[in-house]
Amino acid sequence: MSQAKAYAARSATTPLAPFSFERRALRDNDVNIDILYCGVCHSDIHVAESDWGSSEYPVVPGHEIVGRVTEVGSKVSKYKVGDIVGVGCMVDSCQHCAHCAESLEQYCDNGFVGTYGFHDLIDGSLTYGGYSDHIVVREEFVLSIPEALDVSKAAPLLCAGITTYSPLRHNGVKAGDKVGVLGMGGLGHMGVKFAKALGAEVTIFTRSESKIAEAKKQGADHVIVSTDEAQMQAAAMSFDYLLDTIPVQHDLNPYLNCLKVDGTHILVGLVEPMEPAPHSANLVMKRRVLTGSLIGGIAETQEVLDFCAEHNIECDAEMINIQDINEAYQRMKKGDVKYRFIIDMKSLKA
């Protein structure tokens, strides 16, 4: 066992504060990682504040982790001390069901183990995430960070990156397709970069007029202010795909109306209840598809890291200290982040 320093939420209504706990002793197939950077995902807020109604406290959030290997178990073959590695949203799964066999561990028939707020499959202990000084993870769930990536900006690829890359690839987005990205935050801005890299014509849907100029700098071809009804009406029947990253309950109908016949609306936010409900006519009359997507498997997460290295794609980040985390959450709730907060974990050790 090793003592870990961290920041945790003790309840849905208390701000994050310093917390100490024991990380498990290294198993044969485990890697011990000294955490250098951790991205801040809106899911961290959902879980810290129990938006999904099931959080077990204390919650140590953080599933966009980049660090350096400090120790490896006797059976570890992929990593050695000193390697720069990543950990995303999952730290274990059964490894033998049909989905694990296809490296779709996020859809493991026996349930994957999330990086925080889940239970270890062997000793049952609660998992604690990356707002901490180190983490112990079995090697199958550790990613290799390509040398070409800026280590200080790679962390968000492990959730925001894979969560937007995977559905674009799975749904077959290709050159010339018209893709809309809903919400210009951590996920949304990565979605724009990937859709552009795949050759699509990309439109950002944002509530914030102030993000229009920024959106073009991100590479978006067009911007629609989603609160402007006239702009939404003018976009009717024009998109092949919409990638919806909005983190709160919202009316899908005006967006569905923007899809062509056979167009696909991809949800990644978990926002219950879905009210008002999507109108059946908005789907039936144009054979539109409403679908969802959960992160991506381990093999595809490595693929997205390598894809970003090859295509020079990186996230736009604001670096913060761990002591600023509660303020960062407040700013994210207002959509005031360009476009991902990354915690410099040196601040925890200071």
Query: Which residues contact ligand NDP by CB under 6 A?
Result: 41-43, 46, 159-160, 163, 183-188, 206-208, 211, 245-248, 250, 268-269, 293-295, 332, 335, 337
Question: Is residue 1 packed enough to be buried (19+ CB in 10 Å), middle (13-18) or exposed (0-12)?
Answer: exposed
How many residues bind Zn ion (CB under 5 A)? The answer is 3
Please identify, using beta-carbon distances, which residue of 90 and 202 lies nearer to Zn ion. Answer: 90
Minimum CB distance to ligand NDP, residue 204 (Å): 7
Judged by beta carbon distances under 5 to 8 A according to partner kind, the member of Zn ion, ligand NDP, none in contact with residue 86 is: none
End-to-end CA distance of the chain: 22
Nearer to ligand NDP (CB atom), residue 46 or residue 134: 46
Maximum separation of any 2 CA atoms in the chain, in Å: 63
Question: Tokens 């050759």 label which residue?
Answer: 199
> Which residues partner with 18 through β-bridges?
7
Please report how close the Cβ of residue 309 comes to ligand NDP at its closest, in angstroms: 21
User: Which of Zn ion, ligand NDP, none interacts with 250 (beta carbon under 5 to 8 A by kind)?
Assistant: ligand NDP
Of 257 and 302, which CB lies nearer to Zn ion in the complex structure?
A: 302
Q: What is the three-class DSSP state of 84?
A: strand
Nearest approach, Cβ of 77 to ligand NDP (angstroms)? Answer: 29
Question: Which residue's CB atom is positioned nearest to Zn ion?
Answer: 41
Pick between residue 160 and residue 313 the one whose CB is nearest to ligand NDP: 160
What per-residue string of b and e applies to 167-181 under the rule 16 or more CB within 10 Å gives b? bbbebebeeebbbbb
Residues 6+ apart with CB under 8 A from 135: 4, 23, 32, 33, 35, 65, 67, 87, 115, 128, 129
Tell me the per-residue interface mask from 141 to 160 with Zn ion, x by CB under 5 A, - otherwise. Answer: ------------------x-
Q: What tokens appear for 264 in the block?
A: 């696909």
| Least distance between ligand NDP and beta carbon 282 (Å) | 18
x/- map, 307-346, Zn ion, by CB under 5 A: ----------------------------------------
Tell whether residue 41 is a contact of Zn ion (CB under 5 A).
yes
Q: How far apart are CA 33 and CA 300, in angstroms?
A: 21
The SS3 call for residue 33 is strand
Give whichever of 28 and 229 is closer to ligand NDP, judged by the CB atom.
Answer: 229
The answer to whether the beta carbons of residues 118 and 90 sit under 8 Å apart is no
Cβ 227 vs Cβ 208: under 8 Å? no
Distance, in Å, from the CA atom of 89 to the CA atom of 349, rounded to the nearest integer, reads 23
**Any idea which residue has 């974990």 for tokens?**
345
| 161 interacts with, out of ligand NDP, Zn ion, none, CB within 5 to 8 A per kind | none
106 binds Zn ion (CB under 5 A): no
The answer to whether 23 and 330 have CB atoms below 8 angstroms apart is: no
**Rounded distance, CA 108 to CA 113, Å?**
9
Which residue in the set 32, 43, 106, 282 belongs to the binding site for Zn ion (CB under 5 A)?
Answer: 43
Among Zn ion, ligand NDP, none, residue 203 binds (CB under 5-8 Å by kind): none
∠ CA 147-151-155, nearest 5°, is 115
Burial environment of residue 68 by CB neighbours within 10 A (0 to 12, 13 to 18, 19 or more) = middle
Q: 202 contacts which partner out of ligand NDP, Zn ion, none, CB within 5 to 8 A by kind?
A: none
Q: Among ligand NDP, Zn ion, none, what binds residue 4 when CB lies within 5 to 8 Å by partner kind?
A: none
Q: Which is nearer to ligand NDP, 208 or 302 (CB)?
A: 208
Near Zn ion in 244-273, by CB under 5 A: none
Which of ligand NDP, Zn ion, none does residue 42 bind (CB under 5 to 8 Å by kind)? Answer: ligand NDP
The contact set with Zn ion (CB under 5 A) reads 41, 43, 159
